Amino acid sequence: MKKIAFTAAGAIALALFSQTAATGQTKLSRNEIINSLRDAEVQVKVNADDLRAQALQNIKQHPGDNATTSLPLSEQLAKLRQFNVEITFDFDSDRIRPESYETIGLIADALHTPYLWGQTFFVVGHTDAKGKREYNLELSQRRANAIREALVTTFRVPEGQLEAVGLGEEDLRDPQKPDSEINRRVQLINVGF
């Protein structure tokens, strides 16, 4: 069973975030993003490098098929103003699919409003637990980089406002269902001024 499941996983493996068009998803709006991200209260000291290092460390220290421990920083991050979006990519690639361009545009429009000016945001990419952890970590970082790149170039968001972090499968949304697509997501986190 395990073996079959693993082979199947290999085939669809590294479909990060969401490969498929979302089914019956309610339409995302700019104001929804703004309202979820604005009015950050807590002053936080989280560093993107630390977060990336913790994900890598998690794999080295606790090897195995799936992550069994959460990241030291994840509890702190969970308290921050944030929003989850789905961005779809080409299979096994960091090329953003055209159907997700509008979502990136909405994020840009939100970041261009005075409600969110001058604040710093992490763009955090997550995968489900299918496939190898190291690979997921690397691909999710490249995908987070692609989103950040699009936002700071094509969509003119000031560079200093965004950090891209890929956490692979090291910070699952639903650890009870590690292979569920609910885990594939892009988190926008407001880390403050």
Partner 1 sequence: MIRAFAILAVMALLGISGSGGAFAQTIGFADAIKILHSSCGADIEKYCKNVNLGNNRIQQCLQKNEANVSDQCKADYAGVYVMLQKRFAAQEAVTKVCDRDIQQLCKLVKQGKGHVLNCLLKAEPSVSDKCNQAITDAGYR
Which of 59, 104, 129, 162 contacts partner 1 by CB under 8 A? 104
188 touches partner 1 by CB under 8 A: no
29 or 69, CB closer to partner 1? 29
User: Where does this chain touch partner 1 (CB under 8 A) — which range of 70-78, 104-112, 122-130, 166-174?
Assistant: 104-112
**What is the SS3 assignment for 167?**
strand
97 or 132, CB closer to partner 1? 97
32 touches partner 1 by CB under 8 A: no
The residue to which tokens 């994020």 are assigned: 107
155 touches partner 1 by CB under 8 A: yes
Reference 127, options 139, 118, 110, 145; nearest CA is: 139
**Residue 116 DSSP code:** T
- Burial pattern 146-174, b for ≥16 Cβ within 10 A else e, equals bbbbbbbeebebeeebbbbbbbbbbbbee
Rounded Cα gap, residues 82 and 34, in angstroms: 10
CB of 67 to partner 1, least distance (A): 29
177 touches partner 1 by CB under 8 A: no
CB of 115 to partner 1, least distance (A): 7
Rounded Cα gap, residues 102 and 118, in angstroms: 23
User: Where does this chain touch partner 1 (CB under 8 A) — which range of 47-55, 129-137, 147-155, 178-186?
Assistant: 147-155
34 touches partner 1 by CB under 8 A: no
Rounded Cα gap, residues 148 and 44, in angstroms: 21
91 touches partner 1 by CB under 8 A: no
Contact by Cβ (8 Å): 189, 84: no
Site residues for partner 1 per CB under 8 A: 30, 94-96, 98-99, 101-106, 108-109, 112-115, 117-118, 146, 149-150, 152-155
